[in-house]
Structure formats: C-alpha cells, structure tokens
Amino acid sequence: MAIKYMDVYRRPKGDISSGRYRPGDFLPTEPQLMAEYGVSRTTIRKAIALLREDGFIDARQGRSTEVRAAPRREDSYNFTSLVGRPTIESRVVHATDAKVVAQAATVETVLAPERVSSALGLDRGASVHLVQRLKIIGDEPVAHIASYLEASAFPDLVRHSGQLYYLYEFLSTHYGARFRRSQSRLTAVAADFVESRILDVPVGTPLVLHTRVTESDAGPLEYAESFERPDRLATFVTIAPEDEGAFLSYDA
C-alpha cells in the first residue's frame, strides 16, 4: 500500500504538471489540503516538503506555498541494446535531478504461458526463466519489464537472481548469446490489479504495453513484456537502412 504522504504528494504534483496550477499560483492552505485529502497536518507537511525538495513549489515559513516552474530535463537510455545503434529508444522526461536506474532483476523458473511458448516456438507448458526488472526514477517506478527465456538455453540462470542489471550484456557474457534482431509491438492498455501495485498507480491507469520477441540466428531467444507509464516514458522509433550507404524506400 502506498504511503499516505506520497499519495498527497502526487495529486498537487499532477495538477502542477497538467497546468492546473501555474508558476506564481498558490496552493491551498494546510487546513484546506487536510480537508480535501482527509489526512493529518503532519502528512500534508511531509508532502509539501517533498514538493519543495523536487522543485515544484517555494514553501517558506510565514508565507503561502507558491508554485514555481520546475527544472525539466530529458534522459535517454536504450531499452533494447541489440547490435550497434538502437532501433527503439525510451526517453524519460522528469522534473528532478534523480537518475533513471534499473533495479536488480529477479529470476524464477515457471511454466510458459501459451502466448510465451507460441512466441518462442516451445511446447506448451515448457520451462522458461521469468526475469523481472523495474526502471525507477528516485523511488518512483516507471516501467515493469518481464522477460521470458527458454530454461534449457540458459541453465542455472536463477542462481543470479538479484544480481542482474543489464540482461542482454549478462547473457552475452555468461552464455555467449548473440541477439540479432527483434520485433516489437506497442499497445495501449489499462493497469490491472497487479500492474497497479507494481507501478504504484490506480487500477485502470493508461499504460503502454511494449511486447518484444528477440532472436538469434538460430531462432527466438526472448519474449518480453514491458508495462510503461506514458506520463513518464516516451518511445521513439528510429528507422534506418541496414546498409549505411543505402536510402530508405517506402511503398505508398
């Protein structure tokens, strides 16, 4: 369950980001916020302190809480990291100096769901490794990534649970895996109960589901599902010919 002051923090933060409160406007008073959110003065003050630390407001003793323009920056990181330059990139835009980091992945061996066995060309119910990771800004999760790998192709992978940060690099170094190509699909979905708890958003919140099948020359190696918060992540697709000297050609 989310901490109360974090719930209070996100509401005015969202109002500031959406433009409901503009730079120079004033937030409601502490008693008004207490009545609106049904929480204690201590909870309100913790939320206000966090908003101030993150640069959204200017709150000083003896004066009203004024909204100010938060410094914004854009971080880019490669979500696919295949061979050479990326083809799909997720850019994270946020209003603090917090870095985008990856939590260590957890690994467990499970029976492949039908969609996974079909994508990887496995028999129904075959054993696969489920590798789950989170992308985080500060304490805020922005993406939940679940990768499925054929268990027989990567023996003893579960021994490294809690130690994996960069999956493709690890598989390449320890197992000699060579990722040659991938096919991705982006779909709009609503957060279900599980994803709402993982990403700390209400049930029904719009998310982007990024599904991907990554292959080696021998066939599919990974089926991945990434649930991403579109308020924190934007996906950019770069199209380039395989031959750097060639030109792109489209059929009308």
Provide the mean pLDDT of the chain: 78
The residues with which 90 forms a beta bridge, in sequence order, are 77, 235
Position 20 pLDDT exceeds 60: yes
Predicted confidence (pLDDT) per residue in 199-248, tens digit: 998 989 999 999 999 988 788 999 999 999 988 877 766 655 555 554 44
What is the 3-state secondary structure of 168-195? HHHHHHHHCCCCCEEEEEEEEEECCHHH
pLDDT score, position 77:
47
Q: What's the first-to-final CA gap in the chain, in angstroms?
A: 51
Q: What is the pLDDT of residue 250?
A: 41
- Quick check: 101 and 241 in contact, CB under 8 A? no
85/110: higher pLDDT: 110
Q: What is the pLDDT of residues 105-153, one digit of tens each?
A: 899 999 998 889 889 999 888 999 999 999 888 778 889 999 999 999 9
Q: If DSSP codes are grouped into helix, strand and coil, which group holds residue 154?
A: coil
Q: CA dihedral in degrees (82, 148, 103, 139; nearest 10)?
A: 110
Q: At what angle do helices 4-18 and 30-37 cross, to 10 degrees?
A: 110
At residue 91, does pLDDT exceed 90? no
pLDDT at residue 242, rounded to an integer: 53
Look at residue 108 in the predicted model and tell me its pLDDT. Answer: 93
What is the rounded CA–CA span in Å between residue 77 and residue 228?
A: 14
Q: Domain-by-domain residue ranges, the chain?
A: 4-67, 73-237
> Once rounded to an integer, what is the mean pLDDT over residues 7-23?
78
Residues 6+ apart with CB under 8 A from 184: 80, 88, 210, 211, 212
Of these ranges, 39-48, 87-96, 146-155, 159-168, the one predicted with the greatest mean pLDDT is 146-155
Please give the Cα distance from 10 to 22 (Å, whole number).
16
Residue 154 has pLDDT above 90, yes or no: yes
Contact criterion met (CB below 8 Å) for 82 and 106: no
Q: DSSP states of 13-36 as a string?
A: HHHHHHTSS-TT-BPPPHHHHHHH
Q: How many CB atoms lie within 10 A of CB 178?
A: 15
**Whole-angstrom distance, CA of residue 40 vs CA of residue 32:** 11
Q: Please name the fold of domain 4-67.
A: Arc Repressor Mutant, subunit A (1.10.10)
Q: At the fourth CATH level, which superfamily is domain 73-237?
A: Chorismate lyase-like (3.40.1410.10)
